[in-house]
Structure 1
Amino acid sequence: MRMTLQQKYKILVVDDEPDLEPLLLQRMRRAIRAGRYEFVFAGNGLEALHKLDEDETIDMVLSDINMPQMDGLTLLDQIPEVNPNIRSVIISAYGDMKNIRTAMNRGAFDFVTKPIDFKDLQVTIDRTLNHVEELKAALSARDKLVSLQNELDVASNIQQSILPTELPQEHDYQMFGSMKSARNVGGDFYDVVRLPDRRVGLAIADVSDKGVPAALFMMSTRTLLKGAAIGAINPGDVIGTVNQLLCEDNEAAMFVTLIYGVYDPETGRLTYANGGHNPPLIVHSDNSSTLLPPTDGLALGLVPGYEYQQRTVTVAPGEALVLYTDGVTEAMNGDEEEFGVERLQDIFKKSNPHEPYAITRLIFDAVDTFAGDTPQSDDVTCLTLCRG
C-alpha cells in the first residue's frame, strides 16, 4: 500500500534565479503551514553540496540544470557520494531531451519543465517523497529479505510509489486509473502526461519478469516515456524513442509491452501507437464495445531502431476508452479458464455507468467474481477515460 506523506520533509532547491525562492514559498505556503514541507535553498551545485554535507535530514533535491560554478547535471553525479538515498528532480527547459536524458542517466528520479506548473510540481514532489519513503522502508528491511515474498513486497511498494496521484478531471472528459498488485509482482504501470493545447498523453504498460528488477525496469520506462512525450508529437516517435533507449541499456534482456496515445479533448481524437500490448476498448453509448485496431508494434526493449506505426480514432461524446493489462483478460478461475476479452466486453452489455471510477470498479469486481478463490497471478491494471 502506498505510504502517505505525514512527517515534515526537507527539500533542497538549487537555482540561481533569485525570484524562485519567494515564488516557491508563496505557491507552496499551504503545504509549508501544514508542516509537510520545509524548503532550503542554494544558488548553485557547489553551495548545494555544502548544504548536503552539513544537513543529513535533507530528503530530496530540486535542481535547475543551468547554473554558475557547478550545474545541475554535475551536481547529480556528486549527490550519491554525499547521500546515495536522496532522490533528485531536475528542472529543465521544455523539450530539452538531451539534458533530460543525461539527467536520467545520472540518477534523476523525475523532472519538471519551465515555465513551472506548480500543481504539477507538487504532484512530482509528493510522488518523489513517496518513493523516498518506500526506499527507506526497503533499506530498513534489507537484512530481513530472506524470502522471495519479502522482495516482492518491496517491489510492490516501489511500483505503487510512482503511479500518478491525480488524473485530469475536466469539463469535457474525466480519467481514473487503478492497479491491484498480485502476490507475484510484475511491472504494470499507467501514467498521464499533460501536453500543450489541452492535449493529454496516456499510457499503460506491463514489464516482463517479476519482483524488484521488474519494478526498477518499470520505473526507468516510465521516466523515459515522460521525457519522450514532451520531446515528440507523434506517439509512434515517442514509443520509438523509449524503445531505443531501453535497448541501449538492457543487460537483463527485459522488455515491456506499452501503449501510448495522445487525446485531444477539443475533437475527441485519439492518436496511438501500440508496442505489443493488449488493444484498448472503446465502450459506446449503446453499451456495445469495440477493440482499437492494432498497429502491430513489437514490445519495447527487444529490437533497436524499430519504427512504430500509429492510428487515429475518435472517442465520441458519451463513450469511454478503457486501457488494461493482461492481468484482466488472463485472470484464471478454478477451472483454469481465462477471463478473456469477450467477458470484458460482456460487462458493458449489462451495465455501463459512463463514469471512469465506476467503469474501473466494474471491471475489477467482475474479474474478482470470475476468479473466485483462485490466487491472483498478475497485476490487474486499468486506465479509463470518459468523454463528456
Structure 2
Amino acid sequence: MAIKILSVDDEADMEMLITQRFRRQIRDKNFEFIFASNGSEALEKLEENKDVRLVLSDINMPEMDGLTFLSKLNDQNNPYLKAVMVSAFNDMDNIRTAMNRGAFDFVTKPINFDDLEITINKTIRHVEMLVNSQKEHDQLVAIQNDINIAQEIQQAMLPKTFPPFPHRTDFDLHAFLKAAKLVGGDLFDYFLMDENRLFFLIGDVSDKGIPASLFMAITKAIFKSHFSNKNCEAIADEVYQINSFLSADNQSMMFVTAFVAILDLTTGVVEYVDAGHEPPLIIRRNNEVEVLKKKGGLALCIDGEFPYVSSTFVLEPGDTLFTYTDGVPDANNHTGERFGIERVKKILIEETVSAAPRHINETVLKEIQAFIGDNAQFDDITALTLHYAG
C-alpha cells in the first residue's frame, strides 16, 4: 500500500517538481502525493485523508503559515503523522521554532531533491517502526488477555473449595497448584464416587505454559468423565482406555505422569495405578514418613497399548498421604541446589500427624518459596494431601 504524503506549498511549480522527481515511486505505488497550497487547505486534505503519514510543509505561506499549521497538526495527537518543514536556508529562526514545536525534520530551499528523498525515506522508516511497535504491543496485550482468560478457565477447572466435604469426619484433603507460568500443566482432582469410595488424581504434563494447560484440561476432563460414571470398570481398565484415547492423536508428543487412586473409606485400602509419577509419601500415625514402594507403570501417551495394572496399600486411621509433582523436589535456588525429597520428609515429620492437610500444603509451599528466594520458579508445583481418620 502506497505511503500517503501531503505536500503543502504555495509555489505553483512544487507539485510538478515533486511529481516528476518521484514518478517511479508513484508509478510503483510506493508513494501517493496529495497537494495543498496553504495550511488551511492542508487541514482540509488531512480531514479527507486520515491515513496520511508524512507532511512536507513550507513555513512561509499565505492564509495559514507553516508554523501555525504545525501547531494545528500537533493538536491532532497522531503519533503516526510526521512533519518535515521546508524553508529558506537563512530562515533558521523559523526552522528552530518548527523543530521546537514537534517537526520531525527539515529541508531547506532551494530543495536538494536527493536530500529530500533521503529525508522522506528516513521519516517513513520511523513512522513504520512506530506502527509496527504498536502492532506488536497490541498483539502482546491480546496474548496477555488470552493467557489471563486461560488462567481463569484452568483455575475454574480445579477443585478449590476446602474443606471439600465438611460433613465428612472420616477424611480430609487439600490440594494446590502453583504454576511456573500463568498457566501450567499440572493437574489434580478428587470426588466421591459413592458414599464409601473417594477418587483422587494428581498428574503432570511434560510441557509448560499454554500447550501444557490445554493438554492438562483434556486429561482432567477425561478422567472425570470415566471415573464419575457409576458404570466405570476396574481402575486399571479405565486408565488403559484413557491412555489409548490420549495417545490416539498426540501430534504434540506430550505425555502425562499420573497417580490415580481410589480410597475405600470403610477399610482404608487405596487401590492405585501409577503412570510414571513421583512416589507418594505416607505420614504414619507414629509420625514416621514412609515412601510408598509403588509398582510403577509408563507415563500416559507414550504407548497407547500399555497394559496398566493396579496395586494397593493401606492407610490406617490417623495416616496422611502426601502426593506431589516433580516441581516440589526439583525446585532449586540461585545456586542450583534442589529442594529435594528429604526436605519434604523433614517438613512432614515436623508437622506431626495432627496437622490438617491444608496446613501441611501451605507449610510445604512456604518452605519451597523461601528456598527458591529470588530464583525463578521453573516448574509447576502441585500437591494433594489426604488425611484418613477412619
Question: Same fold judged by TM-score > 0.5?
Answer: yes
Alpha-carbon distance between aligned partners in 1 of 2:208 and 2:311, rounded to the nearest angstrom: 31
1:160 aligns with 2:155: yes
Alpha-carbon distance between aligned partners in 2 of 1:311 and 1:343, rounded to the nearest angstrom: 27
Deviation at 1:151, TM superposition (A): 6.0
Partner of 1:172: 170
Partner of 2:53: none
Partner of 2:102: none
Whether the 8 Å CA contact 1:172–1:265 is kept in 2: the answer is yes
Alpha-carbon distance between aligned partners in 1 of 2:375 and 2:281, rounded to the nearest angstrom: 26
Q: Which has the larger radius of gyration?
A: 2
Deviation at 1:332, TM superposition (A): 0.3
1:199 aligns with 2:197: yes
Alpha-carbon distance between aligned partners in 2 of 1:143 and 1:244, rounded to the nearest angstrom: 41
Partner of 2:375: 374
Partner of 2:261: 261
Q: Which amino acid in the other structure matches residue 158 of structure 2? A: L
Trace 1:59-74 onto structure 2 (pairs within 5 A).
none
Alpha-carbon distance between aligned partners in 1 of 2:358 and 2:305, rounded to the nearest angstrom: 38
Alpha-carbon distance between aligned partners in 2 of 1:270 and 1:143, rounded to the nearest angstrom: 51
- Superposed CA deviations along residues 108-133 of structure 1, whole A, max 9, x for unmatched, are xxxxxxxxxxxxxxxxxxxxxxxxxx
Trace 1:247-286 onto structure 2 (pairs within 5 A).
247-286=247-286
Q: 1:232 to 1:291 in 2, by over 3 A?
A: farther
Alpha-carbon distance between aligned partners in 2 of 1:305 and 1:258, rounded to the nearest angstrom: 17
Trace 1:188-267 onto structure 2 (pairs within 5 A).
188-229=186-227, 230=229, 231-267=231-267
Task: Give the secondary structure class of the aligned counterpart of 1:330.
Answer: coil
- Superposed CA deviations along residues 314-341 of structure 1, whole A, max 9, x for unmatched, are 1111110111111111000122111111
Alpha-carbon distance between aligned partners in 2 of 1:144 and 1:277, rounded to the nearest angstrom: 38
Trace 1:39-58 onto structure 2 (pairs within 5 A).
none
Q: 1:150 to 1:338 in 2, by over 3 A?
A: farther
Q: How many residues align?
A: 247
Partner of 1:81: none
Q: Which amino acid in the other structure matches residue 188 of structure 1? A: D
Unmatched 5+ stretches in structure 1: 1-141
Task: Give the secondary structure class of the aligned counterpart of 1:326.
Answer: coil
Task: Give the secondary structure class of the aligned counterpart of 1:183.
Answer: coil
Which moves more between the two structures, 230-239 or 198-207?
Answer: 230-239
Partner of 1:357: 358
- Superposed CA deviations along residues 61-107 of structure 1, whole A, max 9, x for unmatched, are xxxxxxxxxxxxxxxxxxxxxxxxxxxxxxxxxxxxxxxxxxxxxxx
Deviation at 1:154, TM superposition (A): 4.6
- Superposed CA deviations along residues 119-176 of structure 1, whole A, max 9, x for unmatched, are xxxxxxxxxxxxxxxxxxxxxxx96446976665454333212101332341111111
Q: 1:327 to 1:147 in 2, by over 3 A?
A: farther
Q: Which amino acid in the other structure matches residue 271 of structure 1? A: E
Unmatched 5+ stretches in structure 2: 1-136
Alpha-carbon distance between aligned partners in 2 of 1:329 and 1:238, rounded to the nearest angstrom: 29
Whether the 8 Å CA contact 1:320–1:354 is kept in 2: the answer is no
Alpha-carbon distance between aligned partners in 2 of 1:276 and 1:145, rounded to the nearest angstrom: 37
Q: Which amino acid in the other structure matches residue 336 of structure 1? A: G
1:332 aligns with 2:327: no
Deviation at 1:208, TM superposition (A): 1.6
Deviation at 1:312, TM superposition (A): 0.8
Q: Which amino acid in the other structure matches residue 183 of structure 1? A: K
Whether the 8 Å CA contact 1:159–1:187 is kept in 2: the answer is no
Task: Give the secondary structure class of the aligned counterpart of 1:177.
Answer: strand
- Superposed CA deviations along residues 205-260 of structure 1, whole A, max 9, x for unmatched, are 11121222211111110111112213434322222111011011212111111111
Percentage of matched positions with identical amino acids: 36
Alpha-carbon distance between aligned partners in 2 of 1:176 and 1:349, rounded to the nearest angstrom: 18
Trace 1:30-179 onto structure 2 (pairs within 5 A).
144-145=139-140, 152-166=147-161, 167-169=164-166, 170-179=168-177
- Superposed CA deviations along residues 243-298 of structure 1, whole A, max 9, x for unmatched, are 01101121211111111100011111111111111111111123221122222211
Alpha-carbon distance between aligned partners in 1 of 2:254 and 2:317, rounded to the nearest angstrom: 39
Which moves more between the two structures, 154-163 or 187-196?
Answer: 154-163
TM-score, length-scaled by structure 2: 0.59
1:384 aligns with 2:356: no
Deviation at 1:361, TM superposition (A): 0.9
Task: Give the secondary structure class of the aligned counterpart of 1:205.
Answer: strand
Alpha-carbon distance between aligned partners in 2 of 1:143 and 1:272, rounded to the nearest angstrom: 48
Q: 1:372 to 1:204 in 2, by over 3 A?
A: same
Instruction: Please provide the CA RMSD for this pair.
Output: 2.1
Whether the 8 Å CA contact 1:322–1:385 is kept in 2: the answer is yes
Q: 1:216 to 1:161 in 2, by over 3 A?
A: same
Q: Which amino acid in the other structure matches residue 225 of structure 2? A: G
Task: Give the secondary structure class of the aligned counterpart of 2:328.
Answer: helix
Partner of 1:46: none
Whether the 8 Å CA contact 2:351–2:360 is kept in 1: the answer is no
Deviation at 1:197, TM superposition (A): 4.0
Q: Which amino acid in the other structure matches residue 210 of structure 1? A: K
Q: 1:287 to 1:151 in 2, by over 3 A?
A: farther
Deviation at 1:184, TM superposition (A): 6.7
Alpha-carbon distance between aligned partners in 2 of 1:168 and 1:291, rounded to the nearest angstrom: 27
Alpha-carbon distance between aligned partners in 1 of 2:264 and 2:249, rounded to the nearest angstrom: 33
Task: Give the secondary structure class of the aligned counterpart of 1:251.
Answer: coil
Alpha-carbon distance between aligned partners in 2 of 1:237 and 1:373, rounded to the nearest angstrom: 45
Q: Which amino acid in the other structure matches residue 275 of structure 1? A: A
Alpha-carbon distance between aligned partners in 1 of 2:206 and 2:151, rounded to the nearest angstrom: 15
